[in-house]
Structure 1
Amino acid sequence: MFKKVQLSNGLRLVYEKIPYVRSVSVGIWVGTGSRNETSENNGISHFIEHMLFKGTSKRSAKDIAECIDAIGGQINAFTGKECTCYYTKTLDTHLEIAVDVLSDMFFNSSFASDDINVEKRVVIEEIGMYEDTPEELVHDIFSEMVWDGNPLGYPILGTEMCINKFDKDMILKYMNEFYTPYNTVISIAGNFDEAKLIELVNKHFQDWKFEKTFSNKFSSAQYKVNKIIREKDTEQVHLCMGFEGIEHGNEKLYSLLSLNNILGGGMSSRLFQNIREKRGLVYSIYSYPSTYQGSGLFVIYAGMNPEYLQTVIDLTKTELDLIIKDGITKDELAKTKEQLKGNYILGLESTSSRMNSIGKSELMLGKINTPEEILQKIDRVNMDSVDEMIKRVFDFEKMSISAVGNIKNKI
């Protein structure tokens, strides 16, 4: 069972004690990502994430890595559109080291100009690597296209033009605005002594002061129907077909997840069975929903030989037509609910998965559902609620397409 403590400065600590494991996962979640950026500083959230690993007033970049490597642990971070997370996973006996290293990075990073210049080159190389990974690039092109003009569509890595402008003053200004106690959650899951944990967090974080409360309000993102084809000399064509989805926290999420499992969520899904297994036209085909505050997407991805592109598009539309016309079967519904429950329960056995779940939920929604509540939500999914999602999401008038590859014919 998780618990929540709010420090006097507004920082939230959520934690779940799992006494039968030997690991503990710690995450510092900050409510900022590419959606908080502007056209002038796009990429700064991700850049700051990199810079926090470059050294502090008492540890070099190598020291940070060695501190965690020496105890057999893991340390990493990721940046999304709406949040950034710095995390560790260690043995329970090394919790104090993990919190000390993370808090040192968080509060005492040097942001030396030489390090900033080096990291600019690293991130620009990362952007180049992404450009050479069309199966990833096509998803970014899709979100930039449908949310054109809104920060939700900005690339998380940023642009080379913006990155070249970053300096210490820009970094500190951005952090002063968004790296605040009220906009931060510390999430911990695993084996620990509860009293010592609270004492440890207070020791490292209670002196973090900020004058006012913080409300992270995003501008509304308007979904735009569009089509973008990026010509690239690749062996395969990479395709995204997508629709407007539902927002983060929507009570109908588990109905949409059920629908996703049936359509393209795994190897037994309709798309995988009919287009890959039966016809051999693709290597990879799947669907997924993305949810954000006030907005969402539902996307189908496929990678194929260029000569099969139109056939795959037509077959995918046929599968969508079938699901729009006939819906799903009771047998499919029963199986997908068991699949959702099984995936969720298996995830509970990982301390990092639990840390991620309670941390993100508290940060984005201000509340955490218990495992029992999640399972009840899945149980409440029925034929009518899935049919409602089919009617809401699958509207061919609102279908957008992005494609990357050696495309000669018009889609």
Structure 2
Amino acid sequence: MAELILGPAGTPGTELTVETEAGALVRRSVLPGGIRVLTEAMPGQRSVAVGAWVAVGSRDETDGHHGSTHFLEHLLFKGTPRRDAMAIASAFDAVGGEANAATGKEHTCYFARVLDADQPMAVDVILDMVTSAVLDPSEFTSEREVILEELAMNEDDPGDVAHERFSAQVFGTHPLGRPIGGTPETIRDVPRNAVFEHYRRTYVPSELVVTAAGGVDHDELCSQVLSAVRSGGWDLPEGVRPAARRRAGVDLHVGASGDFPTDPSVLTVHRATEQANVLLGGLGLPAGDERRFELSVLNAVLGGSMSSRLFQEVREKRGLAYAVYSFSGGFADAGMFGLYAGCAPGKVEQVVDLLEEQWQLLASDLVPVQELERGIGQVCGQMVLGLEDNGSRMSRLGRTEISTGELLTVTETLDRVRAVRADDVRALAADLLAQPRHLTVVGPFDTAYRGQGRLEKGREA
């Protein structure tokens, strides 16, 4: 089966259909107003996962609006002219369903999982929230306090602090370096009218993507979506194209505006913890990069499992850490790659040396055949097992439509992963290693961490 190329944006009335594995059927339609609807019908499923995606994330916020995207995620559950917060919550509880939302740097998603018979209710409630949120001033004030508590909770988690500061180091002044939820300062300062303005500017039909997977009928879902958004007062003129996808292909080394760091940095964050959290890495691959399959295998070999190099060298052989792994994250025009370990404060330098050593070995020597095959097998198995869940399938449709527009079948993806060779892994590891490397250390340090031969940078209280 050839890959389903969703196209740059699509034209109104566009209809694409492709049959995938086990009789599953993927369909995509562009509705009036530029709304996109994608479904994956899975035979035998009695439940359906449905999501309403807006291709707007924290990186799209302007000055004075930082934190608005995440603020909206909270506020949309607080009520519409048709439903108050209790009615929204009880609608899903009454049928044993689940509903939630997530804000990212490039999108926001409101999603639910219900029995197939309850799909009309789920679509109606979610799209009522998306199109008709009241953003009541009193609710705004109380929810501001909730979000400040959420940010405080995150600041109490040294692992969260390490990852947040590391992201800021890697992306610098680029909007990708900002925290998704904003900061306590920006949340305290942002006025309701700024969040409302952000809502009206970004929550529009051409940005809306509705996806569903499981026991779903595509035509029925399209009809339900049109009915719900019209009830919410959205105007849906004919002939409107969906919003264009973000521009990809920006140079890996420097951001579009030249605001990614070009020099390595070391950041020490003081926290009165028993353990130090260490992150080492830098820029990675954009989400649509052809080498993303090689990156998945590289991650598996380096730090993706109990048999990975980092786990064996740092934990099993030396007992220096309980948690140790490698990770990656991709966006439209950039990505990041890193290695993490949690260790005793006195072992930080030894652990950092081991992280660097294993990364360098991967960049200089070919991965042995048996180790490569094990990494490929891990990636393939985890992917297939993950897609057994219709929520994962729903998310895959949304992320693909918003980011790359290239939807591969499971078989095609497995073929791409199995085509990865040892030379590919070595070359990619070397390319990643050549980027400016940043080190974040969070722990009970009174002075800036200073490793042998490494820069000493500022300490953050």
Q: Give the TM-score taking structure 1 as reference length.
A: 0.95
Corresponding residue number in structure 2 for 1:71: 95
- Could you say which residue in structure 1 is the equivalent of 2:329? 290
Letter aligned with residue 200 of structure 2? N
**Would the aligned equivalents of 1:38 and 1:151 in 2 still touch at CA under 8 Å?**
no
Q: In the superposition, relative to structure 1, how do residues 292 and 195 fare at CA in structure 2: closer, same or farther (>3 Å)?
A: closer
Residue in structure 1 matched with residue 388 of structure 2 by the alignment: 349
1-structure distance, mates of 2:188, 2:363: 48
Give 1:205 shift: 3.0
Alignment partners' CA distance in 2, 1:167 and 1:371? 45
Q: Is the 8 A contact 1:180 1:210 kept in 2?
A: no
CA–CA distance in structure 1, aligned partners of residues 191 and 131 of structure 2: 18
Deviation at 1:210, TM superposition (A): 6.7
Indicate whether 1:165 and 2:189 are aligned. Answer: yes
Match of 1:401 in 2: 439
- Answer with 44-53 or 270-279: which moved more: 270-279
1:223 is aligned to 2:260: yes
Aligned residue runs from structure 1 range 201-216, under 5 A: 201-205=225-229, 208-209=234-235, 214-215=243-244
Amino acid at match of 2:383: Y
Distance in 2 (alpha carbons) for counterparts of 1:288 and 1:227: 19
Report if aligned partners of 1:184, 1:363 keep a CA contact under 8 Å in 2: no
- Percent identical pairs in the alignment equals 35
Which of 174, 189, 192 does residue 216 from structure 2 map onto?
A: 192
Indicate if the aligned counterparts of 2:65 and 2:198 stay in contact, CA closer than 8 A: no
Letter in 2 for 1:356: S
Distance in 2 (alpha carbons) for counterparts of 1:168 and 1:41: 10
Shift of 1:407: 2.3
**1:297, 1:39 → 2: CA distance?**
24
- Distance in 1 (CA, whole Å) between partners of 2:181 and 2:382 is 30
Give the Cα–Cα distance (whole angstroms) in 1 for the partners of residues 246 and 217 of structure 2.
Answer: 36
Whether the aligned pair in 2 keeps the contact of 1:19 and 1:192 (CA below 8 Å) is no
Cα offset, 1:217, TM superposition = 4.6
Give the secondary-structure state (helix, strand or coil) at the position aligned to 2:297: helix
**3-state SS of paired residue (1:164):** helix
| Separation (CA, whole Å) in 2 of partners of 1:31 and 1:197 | 20
Name the counterpart of 1:268: 307
The one-letter amino acid paired with 2:180 is I
Partner SS, residue 212 of structure 2: strand
Letter in 2 for 1:187: T
Alignment of 1:94-173 (within 5 A): 94-173=118-197
Contact 1:236 1:306 survives alignment (8 Å): yes
After superposition, residues 12-23 of structure 1 pair within 5 angstroms as 12-23=36-47
Aligned partners of 2:26 and 2:40 also within 8 Å: yes
2-structure distance, mates of 1:227, 1:39: 27
Are residues 1:259 and 2:298 paired?
yes
1:210–1:100 Cα change, 3 Å:
closer
Describe the SS at the equivalent of 2:407: coil
User: Which stretch shows the higher mean deviation, 42-51 or 143-152?
Assistant: 143-152
User: Would you say how many aligned residue pairs link Structure 1 and Structure 2?
Assistant: 410
How far apart are 1:352 and its partner, in Å?
A: 0.2
- The secondary structure found in structure 2 opposite 1:156 is coil
Gap regions ≥5 residues in structure 2: 1-24, 248-254, 452-461
Secondary structure, in 3 states, of the residue corresponding to 2:388?
coil
Structure 1's unaligned 5+ residue stretches are none
Q: Aligned with 1:67: secondary structure? A: helix
Return the alpha-carbon distance in structure 2 between the equivalents of residues 63 and 315 of structure 1: 54
Let me know the Cα RMSD of the aligned residues: 1.7
Task: State yes or no: 1:322 paired with 2:361.
Answer: yes
How far off its partner does 1:271 sit?
A: 0.3
- Identify which range, 375-384 or 181-190, moves more after superposition: 375-384
**Alpha-carbon displacement from aligned partner over 1:62-100 (angstroms, at most 9, x marks no partner):** 111111011001000010111110000011111011111
Q: Say if 2:61 is the partner of 1:37.
A: yes
